[in-house]
Amino acid sequence: MPTRRIVLIIIVIAIAVAVYEAGQHRSTAKGGHPGALDSTAATFSLQDLDGKPLALASYRGKVVLLNFWATWCTPCRGEIPQFIDYQTKYGPQGLQLIGISMDDDAKPVQDFYQQFKMNYPVAIGTATLAESYGGVLGLPVTFLIGRDGRIAAKYVGAAEMPVLQQKIESLLQSK
């Protein structure tokens, strides 16, 4: 009888450990680390190139396309004209683009901004901000943040625009 009880206790403990482990893995995959899908996008408060406040919180309720880029990054530069079009096309439906430049110096970013007639706010990034999105260790990196403030998609490298556009439209439809 005592032996059966011990076996039963061991089985219960084993099941409890298995359930706990499964929970741990799930939380790692979804929302367990900064920048993960379904996790709440890290808030930030910066100044844009004109010195105006740029805070993610002020766009709550909108779909936000957050693009980490740099002027020296060729694939990044290639995406910008499309992003300008997205801001024009989808802005009235609730899309807001935000550019975070990883340039070491603001001057080339300001020049680029003027030259390409960028129509959305851009700020110079920090290592801390990049880390709060899971690290930006290569460019470009683009996040789509839903109206609920959660990260809905992440694109490392140049995004496939049809895929990105479809996701934007899908997020804009959700209220």
Partner 1 sequence: MRTFVPAILLFTLVLSAAPTARAQASSGPSDLPPGSAQLINPEDLLKLLQSTTGEKPLLLNVGPSLLYMQAHIPGAEYIGAGSDKQGLNKLRARVKSLPHDQLIILYCGCCPWSHCPNVRPAYNQLATMGFAHVKVLYIANNFGTDWVDKGYPTIKGQ
Question: Whose CA is closest to 98, among 145, 153, 36?
Answer: 145
Residue 86 or 133: the one with the smaller Cβ distance to partner 1 is 133
Residue 85 or 104: the one with the smaller Cβ distance to partner 1 is 104
Residue 16 and residue 160: Cα distance in Å, rounded?
A: 43
Residue 80 and residue 70: Cα distance in Å, rounded?
A: 10
Please list the alpha-helical segments (H only) found in the chain. 2-29, 74-90, 106-115, 127-132, 161-173
Residues of the shown chain interacting with partner 1 in the complex, contacts defined by CB under 8 A? 70, 72-76, 102-104, 125-127, 130-131, 135-140, 156-157
Residue 136 or 171: the one with the smaller Cβ distance to partner 1 is 136
CB of 118 to partner 1, least distance (A): 20
CB of 77 to partner 1, least distance (A): 10
Residue 77 and residue 116: Cα distance in Å, rounded?
A: 10
Q: At 43, phi and psi to the nearest 5?
A: -75, 155
Cis peptide before 140 (omega within 30 of 0): yes
Residue 56 or 102: the one with the smaller Cβ distance to partner 1 is 102
CB of 57 to partner 1, least distance (A): 23
Q: At 156, phi and psi to the nearest 5?
A: -100, 125
Residue 67 and residue 100: Cα distance in Å, rounded?
A: 6
CB of 122 to partner 1, least distance (A): 15
Residue 111 or 169: the one with the smaller Cβ distance to partner 1 is 111
Residue 99 or 125: the one with the smaller Cβ distance to partner 1 is 125
CB of 156 to partner 1, least distance (A): 7
CB of 88 to partner 1, least distance (A): 27
